[in-house]
């Protein structure tokens, strides 16, 4: 239940940006940026998941968690949530999840401020 809710929440967030563009409320670069950074974040999670599976057999270089958090902070959190739920990667580490949600809240607060006071 929670898994599908988080995926729907993330997908709706991206869809709302595209709807805002279609209603001429935001410039085209915003939905393109959010969609692109979310896709990049998803790929990073998938790559790290692959490396995590490989690390059971041999020593491999993993993507640092701070890089995943920075991608989420810069707008890729929808991709991070979708990847976390669908790939089941980084979904058990409480500290990682807490920092991810801080990134999400900061991101939404910044967008709300931008939407209300700038637009």
Q: Give the ranges where 23-93 is alpha helix by DSSP (H).
A: 29-54, 65-71, 77-87
pLDDT at 118: 66
pLDDT in tens, the chain (119 residues): 677 898 999 999 999 989 999 998 888 999 999 999 999 999 999 999 999 888 878 888 888 999 999 999 999 999 999 999 999 888 778 999 999 999 999 999 998 887 777 65
Say if pTM beats, i.e. exceeds, 0.85: yes
Measured CA distances, 58 to 53, 54, 87, 89, 90 (Å): 9, 6, 21, 19, 20
């Amino acid at each position: 239940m929670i898994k599908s809710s988080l995926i729907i929440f993330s997908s709706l967030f991206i869809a709302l940006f595209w709807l805002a563009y279609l209603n001429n409320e935001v410039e085209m670069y915003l939905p393109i940026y959010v969609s692109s950074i979310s896709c990049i974040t998803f790929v990073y999670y998938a790559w790290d998941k692959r490396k995590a599976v490989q690390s059971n057999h041999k020593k491999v270089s993993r993507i640092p968690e701070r890089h995943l958090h920075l991608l989420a902070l810069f707008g890729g959190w929808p991709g991070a949530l979708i990847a976390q739920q669908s790939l089941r990667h980084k979904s058990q580490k409480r500290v990682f999840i807490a920092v991810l949600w801080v990134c999400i809240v900061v991101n939404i607060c910044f967008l709300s401020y931008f939407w209300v006071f700038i637009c």
